[in-house]
Amino acid sequence: MHLFKEENFKVKIDPAAKLIKEFKILIDRDKDRQKSTALKELAYIYYYIDYKSPYDKYDNEVKHTHLVNTLHLGKWKRDSAIDDAIAIYAELQETSSILALNVTKKALKTSINAINKVEEVIKDIIEQNEIDAKSLIEIVEKLLKLSETLPKAIDTIEIIEAKTKKEQTENVRIKGGGKINLFEDA
């Protein structure tokens, strides 16, 4: 479902988003005529959860901090209405390929974190001279073996992303190159 898209570094919101209760709550609670807070909150939701988000590479805490700063949300606090909107948006964009993509990205992040942790351990061991050369070589070999899996995971992610983009464009095209609106049948 294409409720949000990024154009020229701004998030564009499909008017159909107003029909979804969780998004409507955010729009209705903003009493400003321009709905500037609601637009920022919807942008936050898009950047926080969408698989195409440039912030997808960060863990949730770092992502939240970046988004609050980037969107100039100031002392804004994420509340249950935002959490509900994030949950519904995640559910609406969920497909088999997006689920596979998210799982693969999570596995890649875990592998990278593991490699970083092993590097720290090796550095500590070397600095304290607490290991013999043979053991150190074994640890380095394991680290290299683990790092060999990263390019394969990246290739897998690229394949799944391409499949996901194809899947999403196929879902919105009709004869003559037009697009299906939210309440139209294909």
Angle (CA) 50-4-38 rounded to 5° is: 100
Decide which of 17 and 20 is more confident: 20
Angle (CA) 34-36-38 rounded to 5° is: 110
Q: What pLDDT does 183 receive? A: 41
Q: State the average pLDDT over residues 90-96.
A: 83
Q: Which residues contact 101 (CB under 8 A, 6 or more apart)?
A: 51, 157, 160, 161, 164
Q: pTM score > 0.85 for this model?
A: no
Q: What pLDDT does 116 receive? A: 84
Q: What pLDDT does 16 receive? A: 85
Decide which of 89 and 93 is more confident: 89
pLDDT surpasses 60 at 178: no
pLDDT surpasses 70 at 68: yes
Share of the chain above pLDDT 70, in %: 88
Q: What pLDDT does 174 receive? A: 45
Per-residue pLDDT reduced to its tens digit, 135-152: 778 877 888 887 787 788
Q: What pLDDT does 177 receive? A: 52
Decide which of 36 and 150 is more confident: 36
